[in-house]
Chain A
Amino acid sequence: MMLQLSGLNAHYGHVHALCGVDLAVQGGEIVTLIGANGAGKSTLMMSIFGVPRASSGRILFEGEDITQLPTHQISHRGIALVPEGRRIYPRMTVLENLQMGTAKADPTNFQTDLDRMEALFPILADRRDQRAGTLSGGEQQMLAIARALMSRPKLLMLDEPSLGLAPLYIKKIFQIIRELKRDFGMTVLLVEQNANHALKVADRAYVLQHGRIVLSGTGAELLASPEVRAAYLDGGGGH
Chain B
Amino acid sequence: MAQAIQQLINGLTLGAVYGLIAIGYTMVYGIIGMINFAHGDIYMVGAFIAVTSFTLLAAFGVSSVPFALLAVLVVAIAFTSVYGWAVERIAYRPLRASNRLAPLISAIGMSIFLENMVQVTQGARIKPIRPILTGGINLFTQGTFTVRLFETQILIIVTTVALMAGFTWLITRTSFGRQQRACEQDQVVTKVLGYNVDRIISVTFMIGAGLAAVAGVMVTVYYGVVDFFIGFVVGIKAFTAAVLGGIGSLPGAMLGGLIIGLVESFWAAYLSAEYKDVASFAILILVLMFRPTGLLGRPEVEKV
Contacts and interface: CB of A to CB of B under 8 A. Distances in A.
Given A72-B191, A90-B303, A99-B175, 19 more contacts: A49-B192, A51-B191, A72-B192, A72-B197, A75-B192, A76-B194, A81-B192, A87-B189, A89-B182, A89-B185, A89-B186, A100-B179, A100-B182, A101-B193, A133-B302, A135-B303, A137-B303, A147-B193, A151-B193
Interface string B16-33: 000000000000000000
Interface in B165-201: 175, 178-179, 181-182, 185-186, 188-197
A71 interface: yes
B192 A96 contact: no
Interface residues of A, number: 30
A116 interface: no
A75 B185 contact: no
A107 to B, nearest CB: 9
Contacts of B195: 72, 103
Nearest to B189: A87
A104 B192 contact: no
Interface string A53-90: 00000000000000000111111100001010101011
A188 B188 CA distance: 21
Contact of B191 (A71, A90, A104, A135): A71
Contacts of B193: 75, 100-101, 103, 147, 151
A134 interface: yes
B194 A91 contact: no
Interface of A: 49, 51, 70-76, 81, 83, 85, 87, 89-92, 96, 99-101, 103-104, 133-135, 137, 140, 147, 151
A52 to B, nearest CB: 11
Nearest to A48: B192
A96 B302 CA distance: 17
B185 A90 contact: yes
Given A92-B181, A92-B182, A92-B185, A75 B304 contact: no
Interface residues of B, number: 20
B304 A133 contact: yes
A31 to B, nearest CB: 19
Nearest to A101: B193
A73 B304 CA distance: 27
Contacts of B194: 72-76, 103-104, 151
Contacts of A76: 194
